[in-house]
Each structure stands twice: as structure tokens, then as C-alpha cells.
Amino acid sequence: MKKELEEMLVTYKRLVETVGISSAEKVFLYKQRQDLWGQIRQIIKEHPKSIQMAIYRSAHPERAFAQWLRQRDKNRNRKVEVLTHYGGGKLACIKCGYTNVSALSIDHIEGGGNKQRKSTLRASSSFYRWLKSEGYPSGYQTLCMNCQFVKRFEREEHH
């Protein structure tokens, strides 16, 4: 079964190459490619979603890359929006005014951020998404990593 699937994927990728052929041939290859992808989907539908997505990405690398770029940009824009909200309307650390977005993050004013992250939210992008979907709850602020480190040290949260 695995060898059959691999051969189908190789054939599918070969059908994508349409350089130097006529429009009529392109239409014919497009139909063949659609039919073959339907067969591949029938074979992989019982596999876990992660395997299905890996196969899709290998068959459509340009689409997968474009999706990754869109998601990256969406996450960056959301991060800027959330940091600006909790920075008092400015994209800056509320303590020192540092503005490099790469070093800015959300700080839990009363501490406990690590506990929340481990219990429910793994990635920072899901945390920013959660903050926005919850209507920007209170108890958070924008700090640069330096100010966060100093705060953790002063409160002895580093143990």
C-alpha cells in the first residue's frame, strides 16, 4: 500500500509539470491530476490528520509554503495588535519604552504566566489569539524581555 501511494505521488508531481505543452494538453493533465488526487485522498483518508497534511504538503509544496506565509503574517499582525493594546496604545514596553517587536511580549502583571501557558496555551500565537478572542482581559501588560527578567528576579519568580 505504501509503495503504491509513493508511486501515485510521484506520478501526481510529474503531472504538475506543464512547461512547454499546449493549453489543450494542460487541460487534459489537469483532469488527470484531479482524478489521481481523488484516488490518493481515498487511500489516505483513514490515516491521522498529521499524515494526511504531510502528504498534501509534499504533493503541493508551493501551496503549503503560501499558506505558511499567510499564517505567519496573520500571527505577526495579531501579535502587534495585542502588544499595542497592552502597551497603552503604543507598540512599546510600558516600563522602559523599548520598541523592537522581537523583544516585546505579554507579561502577567500578578505573575503565573508559566502556569497558564503549561495548563492551556502552548504557543505564543495561541496566547495572543486567546487574549484577542477574550476581549483583551485585564491583568496583562507589554514588557520587553529585559524588563520581564528584572521583574521576575525582583519578585524571586526565577526559582
Does 69 map to a domain? no
* 78 lies in the same domain as 135: yes
Q: DSSP class of residue 102?
A: G
How many Å apart are CA 37 and CA 34, to the nearest integer?
A: 5
Q: How many Cα atoms are found within 13 Å in the side-chain-facing hemisphere of 150?
A: 7
Please write the tens of the pLDDT for every residue from 119-150: 666 667 788 998 999 999 999 999 999 999 99
* 55 lies in the same domain as 85: no
How many Å apart are CA 33 and CA 1, to the nearest integer?
A: 20
* 45 lies in the same domain as 89: no
- pLDDT tier at 29 (50, 70, 90 boundaries)? confident
* 32 lies in the same domain as 81: no
Q: Which domain holds residue 130?
A: 74-154
Please write the tens of the pLDDT for every residue from 53-106: 999 998 888 889 999 999 999 999 999 999 999 999 999 999 999 999 999 999
* 80 lies in the same domain as 140: yes
pLDDT at 159 over 60: no
pLDDT at 48 over 80: yes
What is the residue whose three cell numbers read 478572542? 133
Q: State the first-to-last Cα distance of the chain, in angstroms, to the nearest integer.
A: 52
**pTM score of the predicted model:** 0.69
Asked if 105 contacts 145 with a C-beta cutoff of 8 angstroms, the reply is yes
Does 67 map to a domain? no
- If you average pLDDT over every residue of the chain, what do you get? 87
Does 127 map to a domain? yes
